[in-house]
Amino acid sequence: MESNSIITIHEKGAAVEDLQRRLSTLGYLPEDGIDGIYEQATVDAVKAFCRDYGLATDGNVDQTIWSKLVDESFELGDRSLYLRLPFFHGKDVRVLQSALSALGFATGGNDGLFGPHTEEALRKFQLNLGLPADGIAGAFTFKALMNLRHSWEGNSSFTPIPHFGFARAAEVLETNMLCLFGTSSFTRSVASRMSNISRATNPNSKVTSAESLLVEPDSSTMFVQITVDEEEANDGVPVVDYEPLDSLALRLQQAIQSARAQAHPRIAIHLPSKVWYEAGEERSAQHYAIVLLDALCSALESLEDNDAS
């Protein structure tokens, strides 16, 4: 038995049954082969799966094989998909990419990785259908895609992406050092997600959360505090309310410009609540992170344009 094997030949139990169910779902094992015993029929199914996906195996199942099997078991709608590090990957992502591309929203390929280009395509799709354009493939988005299934199923057409045009992909991610932080678990989550998204979009991003800050901040670092409910920012710090959204970037631009006149530039952004559209805290935090990062980058880009003119 190899040290990295997690399921071995002759093993019995729930883990083997789970393995067999996944193999059966993918068409490698008949349903009557699900017996919770890892014998020759299941070994052959694992080897066939590994051949198809370019994986090495001696008949045992290691972590690499198991992870790939789990990825390929996800159907579209089984989980919410959004931009994060590490990227979501798997069959459901490939189906999403195929659907979006066939509907005219280019993802650039069907690599099964939910990266920046897939998120851009998703947001354009959401905007086109009047859905909240948050880049999260959740229940509402899945329902809309299923309603259009006749238009995209079996009809994918992948085209190259000429330009990634969203504000957060602008060079401001590389040229502006922002340190994001919160004082509660929810606002720290928002700050962390903003940092995560910025690095997923641009590996050279200098936008980071306080918890993941790797270098000593210098005088050019802009500290951005996220607050919610009754939380208050430090005295003298410009506070920008999240709403109304249509003027958020402009109001952030003004606050940043004012803060830069100080020796230690700081601003705060106040969220209306921990709940967005009755979503749970996790999805609400992700939504706020996406909107805030876009608005911040738009504000910084406008300031750089003003400085250049």
- 57-73: per-residue pLDDT in tens? 888 899 999 999 999 98
Percent of the chain with pLDDT over 70: 93
Amino acid type, 282: E
SS3 111: coil
Is 239's pLDDT higher than 80? yes
Q: What are phi and psi of 190, to 5 degrees?
A: -60, -45
Q: What's the chain's average pLDDT?
A: 87
Is 177's pLDDT higher than 70? yes
Measured at the CA of 149, the angle between CA 146 and CA 153, to 5 degrees, comes to 135
Amino acid type, 98: S
CB 297 within 8 Å of CB 170: yes
Is 1's pLDDT higher than 50? no
d(C-alpha 24, C-alpha 22), whole Å: 5
Mean pLDDT throughout 1-18?
Answer: 80
Is 3's pLDDT higher than 50? no
Of 256 and 162, more confident: 256
CB 118 within 8 Å of CB 92: no
Is the entire prediction scored with pTM above 0.85? no
Which residue pairs, CB below 8 angstroms and at least 24 apart, start in 213-218?
213/179, 217/177, 217/179, 218/177
